[in-house]
Chains A and B, each alone.
Chain A
Amino acid sequence: MSTPLPVTLIAGYLGAGKTTVVNHLLRHANGRRLAVLVNEFGALPIDEDLIEAQDDDLISIAGGCICCSFGSDLTGALIELAALDPRPDHVLIEASGVAIPGAIAGAMSLLEGYAPCGVCVLADVTSLPKLIADEYVGDTVERQLSDAGLIVLTKADLDPATANETESWLRTKYLATPMLLVSDGKLAPALLFDAPASIPVQSSGTHADADYDSFVYTPPARIAVKDMAQALRQSALGIIRAKGFVTDADGARALIQMVGKAVDVTYPDTDAQPGIVFIGLKGQLDEAAIRAMLATFEIAAV
């Protein structure tokens, strides 16, 4: 079995800034071949200057990236993507504005050959209060937020007062879900893609909190992987992103992907060295507490 293809869901209501974030990630793909799946072409899902060619089914993007529309058949589109040669390095799904992320995430987790890598739900802080109060879509927007692994608040710079209020409200309501503020769609690529441990993570934008800390945990022994994943889900220790490999109790190499509160464990065919990179906001990532917690899942050598 080849290495599972990481797939990240970008969801959120219309106007939340999904397209802007996706374009930002494409601009900062750094040689990664990203495949973007959008609901439909039109209203330019991809910035024009990035497009190299376009036909009915596919937009070719600078740097070997592509964008396909999936219409009503996301699963089918994912199966086709995984069969492409060369295969993409990472898949981004831009969900429709009314899609319930949990349903799509469920599909992502079932598909052979894929490794779920996060459910980011975007929310435009300037319009969120009105949307939540809307009789038609209010409950849909709330369901989207409650399915989020990571809530990304956008357009905060447009209306800082509303942004603060919205953020506090969200923090009360979705206590366990990590949140980020980004401007102009500048979601740091390292939060979704591989985070090279040795390179400091770049600032994502203009927000004062937008600098990140990171550290690498190198497990000295085998790890009780499932228990560790469960603990990470509930940790609330400021982790926004973690990725890396550990050796499980049976000696198999497991891949941990954590985006926000969502943690997925898969078993790719790899001999990658054990080690997990943890990333969080400066001042919020509690390295000592995380290391102490992780140590409790180390299995003493027999």
Chain B
Amino acid sequence: MSDITIYAAKKIITMNASRPYATHVAVREGRVLAAGSLDELSSYGPHTLDDRFADKVLMPGFVEGHAHTMEGSLWAKVYCGWFDRTDPDGKTWEGAKSIDAVVARLIEAQEHLTDPDAPLSGWQLDPIYMDNTRVTRADLDRVSTTRPIGILHASGHILNVNTRALELAGMMKTGLNNPGIPLGNDGYPTGELKGPEVMTPVGAHIGFERNMLDADEDGLRNFAKLCVRTGTTTITDLASRMDPDTVDMMLRVTGEKNYPARIVPLRFFLGLAPDELVAEVLRLKGMSTDRLSMGRIKIVADGSIQGFSARLRWPGYHNGAPNGLWYIAPEQLSEIYHRALEAGVQVHTHTNGDQATQLVLEKMAPALQAHPNPDHRFTLQHCQLADAAQFGQAAKLGMCVNLFANHHFYWGDEHYNMTVGPERATRMNACRTALNAGIPMAIHSDAPVTPLGPLFTAWAAVNRITASGRVQGAEECITVDEALWAITMGAAYTLHMEGDIGSIETGKKADFAVLDDDPTTCDPKALKDISVWGTVQGGRVFAAADL
């Protein structure tokens, strides 16, 4: 038996500019030996010809440059979102289109619970699509008055709970005076809790453990199943606290024989002083394996635009809301940049608002001058409101950008009407401008904020269609080829991994997305509908149907 396997495909889109298409790919030791014709590949020696993909289109495995493994853990809870969404086991949950539908779904889930006191929790509620109707504890009391119940909003920043949950947290009382706790006419909390400060004390009683940022063991396995279903073979966890137990668990789970994805967790910046942070990340880098790539830092500079906590430049929020929040002081941002550049550690910085982006650019320039590093690839994550000048500066500074293309579909209408107004909403996540500026670019889902699905993300960047069906910012649309590059080589580049993954060519990991149709010839509006058969990861074949 030969150790070379040649896969025949209907078409192979390699993303290798010198040989863009092929019909066959030879794999040995989990790596691509070569792509080409069967004749060509036969010259590499004895082989096994595998034609299971003969009617499939192969692409490099997709690379998701901004997601959170926590998506895998959330599926242990009840899905309450507006949009249809597929779970790790392949079941597509219909969107819940009313509060009654949400309540009905919780009641159904409750029937599977044997312990009458066990908490019940849901996720991804988004009242924006329900005319902003607020869920109350009375709604959730219809599910149960004795069992604590809570639903996390899609934003992750609001929690709705029932009366029992409030009782358990000692908050079922009058006289509370907290902007995060709306009160009803009776003086008692309505059950809506806004902001982590007021959510956390109740969260523990309804199954939202404190350490939500990190996936648990089952969540990490579920997360990988979602990867297979979406053609993703490398995915970031942006960010993880990466305490020793979590790192041990991630090493163990990703090391399991059939773990089908490469996870790239970035260390969250909080909790360590800058010098210790850099030292810790270097230590983690040394513990990396083929399927767990560590050694990068994630900083969060500001909040979110739809939560009005992003930092905006003049003229601020369209509806007049006060400017948002900083999660790091400019001096600290600067210190981490200096130390990380000096040590050769890469930093990804979340900047939603354009003032946050401006701050990063301002701190980056002197840090880079002090510690020249021509290939640092510090990456702006989200960077949703950057204008042409900022993209230009970022390009000059050698930075990369990972734009939140999915946001356009899910919240584009809200941005247009409420948060930033028509002009800035139209140029949000300006992929065209970024590419024109010559800045290396990826696009992302930020799962679980929006569903993981690189082909959907590519669709969003190509079409810029909002949930209401409008094209918002046609001038910022990019081509299908550019979008496919962004979800493969583009994202790999932001992780310094483009030498190993992102294309199908000699020497690279044998990571493939196995598709039922050809994204380069289909109607661009149908990109998101291309079905994914599964993946090949490190030469191992994973069929979505067999998960």
In the assembled complex, the CB of A13 is this many whole angstroms from the nearest CB of chain B, namely 7
Given known A-B contacts A14-B332, A106-B179, A40 and B271 have beta carbons under 8 A apart: yes
Collect the chain A residues with CB atoms within 8 Å of residue B329's CB.
Answer: 13-14, 96-98, 137
Task: Name B's interface SS.
Answer: loop
B201 touches A110 (CB 8 A): yes
Collect the chain B residues with CB atoms within 8 Å of residue A76's CB.
Answer: 200, 210-211
In the assembled complex, the CB of A138 is this many whole angstroms from the nearest CB of chain B, namely 10
Q: How far is the CA of A103 from the CA of B197 in the complex (A)?
A: 7
Collect the chain A residues with CB atoms within 8 Å of residue B355's CB.
Answer: 135-136
A107 touches B273 (CB 8 A): no
Q: How far is the CA of A74 from the CA of B210 in the complex (A)?
A: 10
Asked if B409 is an interface residue, CB under 8 A from chain A, the answer is no
Asked if A112 is an interface residue, CB under 8 A from chain B, the answer is yes
Contacting residue for A107 out of B198, B204, B211, CB 8 A: B198
In the assembled complex, the CB of A265 is this many whole angstroms from the nearest CB of chain B, namely 10
A98 touches B241 (CB 8 A): no
A41 touches B198 (CB 8 A): no
The interface on chain B, measured as residues whose beta carbon lies within 8 A of the other chain's beta carbons, has a size of 41
Q: How far is the CA of A104 from the CA of B195 in the complex (A)?
A: 11
In the assembled complex, the CB of A228 is this many whole angstroms from the nearest CB of chain B, namely 15
Collect the chain A residues with CB atoms within 8 Å of residue B327's CB.
Answer: 98
Asked if A75 is an interface residue, CB under 8 A from chain B, the answer is yes
Asked if B218 is an interface residue, CB under 8 A from chain A, the answer is no
A72 touches B200 (CB 8 A): no
In the assembled complex, the CB of B89 is this many whole angstroms from the nearest CB of chain A, namely 31
In the assembled complex, the CB of B162 is this many whole angstroms from the nearest CB of chain A, namely 17
Q: How far is the CA of A137 from the CA of B331 in the complex (A)?
A: 11
Asked if B374 is an interface residue, CB under 8 A from chain A, the answer is no
Contacting residue for B178 out of A71, A73, A109, CB 8 A: A109
In the assembled complex, the CB of B524 is this many whole angstroms from the nearest CB of chain A, namely 40
Asked if A52 is an interface residue, CB under 8 A from chain B, the answer is no
Asked if A284 is an interface residue, CB under 8 A from chain B, the answer is no
A39 touches B276 (CB 8 A): no
Collect the chain A residues with CB atoms within 8 Å of residue B198's CB.
Answer: 106-107, 110
Asked if A269 is an interface residue, CB under 8 A from chain B, the answer is no
Collect the chain A residues with CB atoms within 8 Å of residue B359's CB.
Answer: 136
In the assembled complex, the CB of B161 is this many whole angstroms from the nearest CB of chain A, namely 13
Asked if B169 is an interface residue, CB under 8 A from chain A, the answer is yes
B178 touches A106 (CB 8 A): yes
Asked if B20 is an interface residue, CB under 8 A from chain A, the answer is no
A110 touches B195 (CB 8 A): no
Collect the chain A residues with CB atoms within 8 Å of residue B493's CB.
Answer: none
Contact pattern, A 25-43, Cβ under 8 Å of B = 1, otherwise 0: 0000000000000011111
In the assembled complex, the CB of B282 is this many whole angstroms from the nearest CB of chain A, namely 15
A100 touches B325 (CB 8 A): yes
Collect the chain B residues with CB atoms within 8 Å of residue A43's CB.
Answer: 273
Asked if B543 is an interface residue, CB under 8 A from chain A, the answer is no
Asked if B187 is an interface residue, CB under 8 A from chain A, the answer is no
Asked if B330 is an interface residue, CB under 8 A from chain A, the answer is yes
Q: How far is the CA of A45 from the CA of B487 in the complex (A)?
A: 43
In the assembled complex, the CB of B336 is this many whole angstroms from the nearest CB of chain A, namely 12
Collect the chain B residues with CB atoms within 8 Å of residue A111's CB.
Answer: 201
The interface on chain A, measured as residues whose beta carbon lies within 8 A of the other chain's beta carbons, has a size of 34
Collect the chain B residues with CB atoms within 8 Å of residue A73's CB.
Answer: 200, 210-211
B270 touches A39 (CB 8 A): yes
B197 touches A41 (CB 8 A): no
A110 touches B171 (CB 8 A): yes
Asked if A69 is an interface residue, CB under 8 A from chain B, the answer is yes
Q: How far is the CA of A191 from the CA of B178 in the complex (A)?
A: 25
Residue of B nearest to A77 (CB): B210
Asked if B378 is an interface residue, CB under 8 A from chain A, the answer is no
Q: How far is the CA of A73 from the CA of B271 in the complex (A)?
A: 9
Residue of B nearest to A74 (CB): B197
Given known A-B contacts A41-B273, A41-B276, A72-B268, A106 and B330 have beta carbons under 8 A apart: no
Q: How far is the CA of A97 from the CA of B330 in the complex (A)?
A: 10
Chain B, range 184-205, C-beta contacts under 8 Å to A:
195-198, 200-201, 204
Contacting residue for B330 out of A102, A112, A136, CB 8 A: A136
A72 touches B270 (CB 8 A): yes
Q: How far is the CA of A281 from the CA of B171 in the complex (A)?
A: 37
Q: How far is the CA of A79 from the CA of B328 in the complex (A)?
A: 24
Residue of A nearest to B200 (CB): A75
Collect the chain A residues with CB atoms within 8 Å of residue B169's CB.
Answer: 110, 112
Asked if B290 is an interface residue, CB under 8 A from chain A, the answer is no
Contacting residue for A42 out of B171, B196, B272, B328, CB 8 A: B272
Q: How far is the CA of A47 from the CA of B59 in the complex (A)?
A: 57
Collect the chain B residues with CB atoms within 8 Å of residue A107's CB.
Answer: 197-198, 200-201
Asked if B180 is an interface residue, CB under 8 A from chain A, the answer is yes
Collect the chain B residues with CB atoms within 8 Å of residue A227's CB.
Answer: none
B210 touches A41 (CB 8 A): no
Asked if B326 is an interface residue, CB under 8 A from chain A, the answer is yes
Q: How far is the CA of A71 from the CA of B275 in the complex (A)?
A: 15
Chain B, range 312-349, C-beta contacts under 8 Å to A:
322-323, 325-332
Asked if B469 is an interface residue, CB under 8 A from chain A, the answer is no
Collect the chain A residues with CB atoms within 8 Å of residue B116's CB.
Answer: none
Contacting residue for B276 out of A42, A75, A79, A135, CB 8 A: A42
A40 touches B197 (CB 8 A): no
Contacting residue for B273 out of A42, A103, A109, CB 8 A: A42
In the assembled complex, the CB of A169 is this many whole angstroms from the nearest CB of chain B, namely 21
Q: How far is the CA of A263 from the CA of B276 in the complex (A)?
A: 39
Asked if B45 is an interface residue, CB under 8 A from chain A, the answer is no
B271 touches A69 (CB 8 A): yes
Contact pattern, A 101-121, Cβ under 8 Å of B = 1, otherwise 0: 011101101111000000000
In the assembled complex, the CB of B326 is this many whole angstroms from the nearest CB of chain A, namely 4
Contacting residue for B210 out of A13, A75, A96, A136, CB 8 A: A75
Asked if A139 is an interface residue, CB under 8 A from chain B, the answer is yes
Residue of B nearest to A97 (CB): B329
B197 touches A75 (CB 8 A): yes
Asked if A19 is an interface residue, CB under 8 A from chain B, the answer is no
Q: How far is the CA of A41 from the CA of B273 in the complex (A)?
A: 6
Asked if B170 is an interface residue, CB under 8 A from chain A, the answer is yes
In the assembled complex, the CB of A206 is this many whole angstroms from the nearest CB of chain B, namely 28
B326 touches A98 (CB 8 A): yes
B179 touches A40 (CB 8 A): no
Collect the chain A residues with CB atoms within 8 Å of residue B179's CB.
Answer: 102, 106
Asked if A257 is an interface residue, CB under 8 A from chain B, the answer is no
Q: How far is the CA of A40 from the CA of B270 in the complex (A)?
A: 7
In the assembled complex, the CB of B167 is this many whole angstroms from the nearest CB of chain A, namely 12
In the assembled complex, the CB of B330 is this many whole angstroms from the nearest CB of chain A, namely 6
Collect the chain B residues with CB atoms within 8 Å of residue A135's CB.
Answer: 355
Collect the chain B residues with CB atoms within 8 Å of residue A106's CB.
Answer: 178-180, 195, 197-198
Residue of A nearest to B335 (CB): A43
Q: How far is the CA of A242 from the CA of B270 in the complex (A)?
A: 35
Contact pattern, B 199-219, Cβ under 8 Å of A = 1, otherwise 0: 011001000001101000000
Asked if A140 is an interface residue, CB under 8 A from chain B, the answer is yes
A42 touches B197 (CB 8 A): no
A137 touches B178 (CB 8 A): no
Collect the chain B residues with CB atoms within 8 Å of residue A74's CB.
Answer: 197
Contacting residue for B328 out of A13, A98, A104, CB 8 A: A98
Collect the chain A residues with CB atoms within 8 Å of residue B325's CB.
Answer: 98, 100, 140
Contact sample, A vs B, 22 pairs, CB 8 Å cutoff: A40-B273, A41-B272, A71-B241, A71-B268, A72-B271, A74-B197, A75-B201, A76-B211, A97-B329, A97-B332, A98-B325, A98-B327, A102-B179, A104-B197, A106-B178, A106-B195, A107-B200, A110-B197, A112-B170, A136-B311, A136-B326, A139-B323
The 6 closest A-B pairs by CB, nearest first: A42-B273, A71-B271, A107-B197, A75-B200, A98-B326, A76-B210
Knowing that A98-B328, A139-B322 touch, tell me 7 more A-B residue pairs with CB under 8 angstroms: A13-B329, A14-B331, A72-B271, A107-B198, A112-B170, A136-B326, A137-B329
